[in-house]
A and B are shown apart, each in its own frame.
Chain A
Amino acid sequence: MTPQAVKSAPMPPSPWRNGISQAMCEALVRILRFLLPLALVVAGWAMLSASGLVRPIFLPSPLEVARQLAVLQEEGEILGPLWTSIYRAFAGLVLAVVVGVLAGLAMARSRLAYWGLDPLVALGFPAPKIAFMPIFILWFGIEDLSKILLVAFTCVFPLIVATWQGAIAVPRNFIWSARAMGTSEPQLLRKVIFPGTLVTIMSGIRVAVPVALITAFTAEMVAGGGGLGGQLMYAQRMLQTPTVFVYIVLMLLTGVVFDQVLLALRHRLVPWLAEDEL
């Protein structure tokens, strides 16, 4: 019996309310514990700018940045660019997942696919994909399409590699057991190889998420065309340092949210894994 159960035993019947507040308390503590070091960094930042050692044009105070956030929100300069960037990163990521998983599975199961794709992956995996930005602009324009495709192009290689590695590591016993239980060779991919690879695919996606965001923001900074990156560079040229910081903070938050959403989804997508795996 848990200590809470013992405590609530003589109380009138409301153990479920007790349970909920208990869970909420724990969640709150967890969030506070997570936020405290961040608060310390912000406090250090506030003290540094309050000390007058650094000119506001180089480092505006946190309060100034927050104020600027409100101003930009008033002017409609926050949500629009934010959605533009998220849309580009997300669309590119989805495209990369679909193509990367299919290519990785194909490479693991077909000699022909491996022969055809391996050199391309070897070349593309370590390549600085942002170098293709001018070409992508030339081919696909300055707006969303070139950026989505660049994100996909950047993310597809880690996903191919993760999927391929996961698929070739599916234990031989899984495949043989499935075959002995009436799974045909074509069915193997869907019934054994893919589910057996899902965990590494999820890890691959988790690696690809920051890559997608970095690429989207960088592409916007280099090429313009709106989004948080484009707005940031524009503010930089105008020497509006508080605005630059606002967009930086938004980029940081976007990354955290993407990652947390993925972690939350993980329990639905690979429910057979223990909490501490992946």
Chain B
Amino acid sequence: MQGVKAPLIRIAGVSKHYRSRGSRVTALAQVDLDIARGEFVSIVGPSGCGKSTLLYILGGFLRADEGAIEIRGRGIEGPGIDRGVVFQEYALFPWLTVEQNIAYGLVNAGMERRQRDETVRHYVSLIGLQGFEQRYPRELSGGMRQRVAIARTLACEPDILLLDEPLGALDALTRETMQDELLRLWQGTGKTVLMVTHDVNEAVFLSQRVVVMSKRPGRIVDNFAIDLDRSRPREELMVSDAYNEMRNRVWLAVRREAMAAAA
């Protein structure tokens, strides 16, 4: 999967510690992970295993205590518009309308008015929210909000998408619809995606590679290449033997870690 070219993202020996009630907790221990350009990689693992921490370090919001992270061969200095981030919830600005939220990054980039309006229109129709442009996030359903959050991030045209349990707050049905949309977006744009999730089905359904992290201190214990024909419709894919075998293998690996965490 990694090909011969240098990976887009190289995570080497990354560790992260923090202090909790005076004692030192290791959140991440010696994590190595390479991600190729255009790859869709998911991280799964028991809660509290540090998978989000890894995402935040990549986002430039937190610093690694040890190890190195390189994107296109260069270290990261804080957040950047080359990496778009979608959080689980509470990240849309409640004081901005749908339109203003999507335009937020474009305004920062200094895009001129006409082009901006056009871009916003494009993304509004991409997520199917025509007619909701002037609504505030409070007036939208959870699924709509998350679509706006994704559109807002895509509008900045990042090369890399960092998704932190982006569909975690949605009900099961909305979630499946959103997974389909996410898949379609990824296939259409060829962006590099790193997604944190606790849903094994979601990870296997969407990703080319699923990385399993151990309980704290988080380290990578498994790395599954998922080779599925994603041009097939969901109902076909999800009942196929190939899908289910893969899902079971990942699920067993996650379960092993979850049981170890509980013990």
Decide if B87 touches A181 in the complex (CB within 8 Å): no
Looking at the assembled complex, report how far the CB atom of B18 sits from the nearest CB atom of chain A, in whole angstroms: 14
Knowing A179-B79, A181-B105, A181-B108, say if A270 contacts B61 (CB, 8 Å): no
Residues 170-184 of chain A: 1 if any B CB is under 8 Å from the residue's CB, otherwise 0?
A: 010110111111110
Question: Contact residue range for chain B?
Answer: 20 to 34
Interface of chain B: mostly helix, strand, loop or mixed: loop
Decide if B95 touches A181 in the complex (CB within 8 Å): no
Decide if A171 touches B90 in the complex (CB within 8 Å): yes
Looking at the assembled complex, report how far the CB atom of A21 sits from the nearest CB atom of chain B, in whole angstroms: 29
Interface of chain A: mostly helix, strand, loop or mixed: helix
Decide if A180 touches B80 in the complex (CB within 8 Å): yes
Decide if A180 touches B109 in the complex (CB within 8 Å): no
Question: Contact residue range for chain A?
Answer: 20 to 34
- Residues from chain A with Cβ under 8 Å of B113 in the complex: none
Our pick among B56, B61, B90, B95 for the contact of A198 (Cβ within 8 Å) is B95
Say yes or no for B156: interface residue by CB 8 A criterion. yes
Bound together, the chains give a CA A198 to CA B104 distance in angstroms of 19
Bound together, the chains give a CA A178 to CA B93 distance in angstroms of 9
Decide if A272 touches B90 in the complex (CB within 8 Å): no
- Residues from chain B with Cβ under 8 Å of A187 in the complex: 108
Bound together, the chains give a CA A271 to CA B153 distance in angstroms of 24
Point out residues on B near A: beta carbons under 8 Å: 56, 59-61, 78-81, 83-85, 87, 90-91, 93-96, 104-105, 108-109, 136-138, 152-153, 156, 158
When A and B form their complex, which 4 residue pairs have the shortest distance between CB atoms, in order from nearest? A181-B105, A182-B108, A179-B79, A173-B91
- 5 A-B pairs with CB atoms under 8 Å apart are A171-B91, A180-B60, A181-B152, A187-B108, A192-B93
Point out residues on A near B: beta carbons under 8 Å: 171, 173-174, 176-183, 187, 192, 195-196, 198, 270-274
